[in-house]
Amino acid sequence: MHVMNAERVLPIAGYPILEATPKELADHLLRILRHHEKVTLFYANSNFVVKCKPLINRMHDDSVVIVNDGVGMDIVARALHGRSFKANLNGTDFTPYLFRESVRPLRVFLLGGRLDVVMKAAIHVEQKLDQVVVGYCDGYQGMSDTKLIQRINASGAEVLLVAMGNPLQEAWILKHRDQLEVPIVSGVGALFDFWAGYKPRAPMFIQKLRLEWLYRLSLEPRRLLKRYTVDAVVFFADCIKYRKYLAPAPLQQQTKPQ
């Protein structure tokens, strides 16, 4: 496994968050692909940090790469480590960037979302992003397919995008990762909804102001209010409580920071 520089990992709430630019991350993933190895990519925002806590032990692995997503992660990095991340990395922007950085079209399998959503997302990947979709499956009835892993492996996919939201997508990926022969597997949240045209992205000036979360909250206040209020408080509390820890043990043993 080609492991990126451990010195560039910032511990946040017990998670090892990699500090990288889009170019560095894309080069790393494509190098792993060329060497026929395997990597799992997660995007950590405040919701990820709170919801994925039961899975944290399994994320401390050289084959798992976790990168920062959102202004909350930057605030914590500055407060606890005295520096911001090099770039904001989220699946919505980075996934197309990864495709563009490849010297050839990649073979992609899409998993998750409603059937109409994943079908339209697959069309977008082929027609707009010029990649090769080798299969797709919805995240509802399709998940009951006992031969799903076999289907994915038989497709020859080089990239598997899993869109189920936190923590379902992370739990599914970690449970089946050893069986999956796909080199790059990534949890991408609401990405298929954007690609299918069911959810709009914030205007570019809002994205540049790092206020996309506020735009999404205005569109879905009932669904997202708890995430950006109660869960946000839990997120910052965990970041402070476990500010010195990179290993997950304190989260399990509830040991107080020294």
Distance CA 92, CA 102 (A): 17
Segment 213-222 shows an average pLDDT of 73
**pLDDT over 90 for what percent of the chain?**
67
The model's pLDDT over 74-111, given as tens digits with 9 standing for 90+, comes to 999 998 888 889 999 999 999 999 999 999 999 999 99
* 40-44, 59-63, 133-137: least confidently modelled range: 59-63
* Amino acid 81: pLDDT: 86
Q: What type of residue sits at position 252?
A: Q
Q: Is 61 helix (H, G, I), strand (E, B) or coil?
A: coil
Segment 134-155 shows an average pLDDT of 95
Segment 163-181 shows an average pLDDT of 97
Q: Give the torsion sign (CA, 152, 154, 160, 161).
A: negative
Q: Is 104 helix (H, G, I), strand (E, B) or coil?
A: coil
Measure Cα distances from 134 to 55, 89, 176, 223 in Å.
Answer: 29, 26, 19, 33
Q: What type of residue sits at position 233?
A: V
> Residue 258: is its pLDDT beyond 90?
no
Radius of gyration of the CA atoms of the chain, in A: 18
Specify the pTM: 0.88
* Amino acid 249: pLDDT: 42
With a CB cutoff of 8 Å and minimum separation 6, the contacts of 54 are 167
Distance CA 29, CA 165 (A): 22
> Residue 210: is its pLDDT beyond 80?
no
Burial bucket for residue 39 (CB in 10 Å: 0-12, 13-18, 19+): buried
Task: Give the chain's mean pLDDT.
Answer: 88
Confidence band for 248, pLDDT divided at 50, 70 and 90: very low
* Amino acid 186: pLDDT: 98
**pLDDT over 70 for what percent of the chain?**
88
Number of other CB atoms surrounding residue 147 within 10 Å: 9
Segment 190-218 shows an average pLDDT of 80
